[in-house]
Amino acid sequence: METASPCASSGSASHQEVSSSDDLPIQQSLLLSDGLRALRNMRSQLYSAAEYFELSYINDDRKEIVMRTLKDYAVEAVVNAVDHLGSVSYKVNNLLNEEVDEVSVAESEVSCIEQRLRTCQACIDQEGLSQQSLMIRPPKYHKHYILQGK
């Protein structure tokens, strides 16, 4: 006895979908790594810029121009850092969402397998009960009790 289950058709399709998109998390992981590397590079660039502006301020007589330039550079650097952090955050969220989706698909597949297992177990139990009921034969004769001493 076979039962049609909506899980049966969706299970194989989702497995093919997962296997064809296995390289997507790797690509996103590489993009995330690139974003983190850009943040690290930004740190060294900011240190270099700070040293440059410090030397310029000490050696240059036009301190007001150096200060304005430093202020503009600092604002732009903060905006770039926030932009990079937003990009990295977005990539991390995407990776986590994909992992959550994969877990959800796996849970759904496990649920379908458990449902099939329960259905099969119920069929096996029903078949076993029907076979046992066929094997029990009622006695043809009533049992006679022999009383001792009479």
Mean of all residue pLDDT scores within the chain: 78
Give the pTM. 0.53
Report the C-alpha gap between 35 and 84 in whole angstroms: 7
Q: What is the mean pLDDT of residues 25-44?
A: 80
If pLDDT is split at 50, 70 and 90, which confidence band does 129 have? Answer: confident
Mapped onto helix, strand or coil, the DSSP state of residue 149 is: coil
Report the C-alpha gap between 6 and 37 in whole angstroms: 46
Q: Provide, rounded to the nearest whole percent, the portion of the chain with pLDDT above 90.
A: 17
Domain spans, the chain: 24-122
66, 56 in Cβ contact below 8 A? yes
Please identify which residue in the block is written with the tokens 């043809």: 140
pLDDT digit string (tens) for 67-122?
888 889 888 988 988 898 898 888 889 888 988 999 999 999 999 999 999 999 99
Q: Using CA atoms in the order 88, 90, 91, 94, what is the torsion angle rounded to 10 degrees?
A: 160
